[in-house]
């Protein structure tokens, strides 16, 4: 059911410092920073030949990544995102198998303008997994 790895998201305390590290030290192609107030984060994408890395910095009060950064002040891998062809079918299948979808259980429009949902990390080997409609 799951398809390509769409991105790996890394929460960082300073997105400009992280972007400079990827651009100048690792020699990667790095996008501009995009504030996403609806999602409580600022994002930068790093384009790799086979996938993307998404840098996330908290934006505003109550950012969904604020607690993660309290526990991991240097930053860390926050979630991984797999593509699925049909997010509603994926949602039905996974809930039938007993996996928990975060929030109200319905897909939402994510930071990239496509329907996404997040699965409980306790149901997936301690990894927060995002599914994105391809």
Candidate segments 23-31, 61-69, 73-81, 85-93, binder of Co ion by CB under 5 A: 73-81
Which residues lie closer than 8 Å to 38 by C-beta, 6 or more apart? none
Which of 94/111 has CB closer to Co ion? Answer: 111
Question: Nearest distance from residue 80's CB to Co ion, in Å?
Answer: 8
Give buried/exposed letters for 19-53 (b at 16+ CB in 10 A, else e). Answer: beebeeeeeeebeeeeebeebbbbbbbbeeeeebb
83 among known catalytic residues: no
Q: Which of 30, 46, 78, 130 binds Co ion (CB under 5 A)?
A: 130
Site string for Co ion, 74-113 (x = CB under 5 A): -------x--------------------------------
> What's CA 107's distance to the chain center, in Å?
14
As a whole number of angstroms, the distance between CA 21 and CA 41 comes to 19
Binding to Co ion by CB under 5 A, coded x per residue (else -) over 15-54, reads ----------------------------------------
**Helix H or strand E encompassing 24:** none
């Amino acid at each position: 059911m799951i398809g390509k790895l769409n991105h790996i998201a890394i929460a960082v305390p300073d997105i400009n410092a992280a972007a400079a590290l990827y651009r100048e030290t690792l020699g990667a192609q790095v996008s501009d920073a995009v504030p996403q107030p609806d999602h409580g984060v600022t994002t930068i994408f790093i384009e790799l030949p086979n996938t993307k890395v998404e840098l996330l910095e908290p934006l505003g009060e109550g950012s969904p990544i604020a607690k993660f950064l309290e526990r991991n002040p240097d930053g860390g891998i926050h979630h991984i995102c797999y593509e699925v062809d049909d997010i509603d079918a994926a949602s039905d299948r996974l809930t039938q198998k007993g996996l928990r979808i975060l929030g109200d259980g319905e897909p939402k429009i994510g930071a990239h303008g496509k329907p996404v949902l997040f699965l409980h990390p306790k149901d997936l080997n301690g990894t927060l997994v995002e599914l994105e409609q391809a």
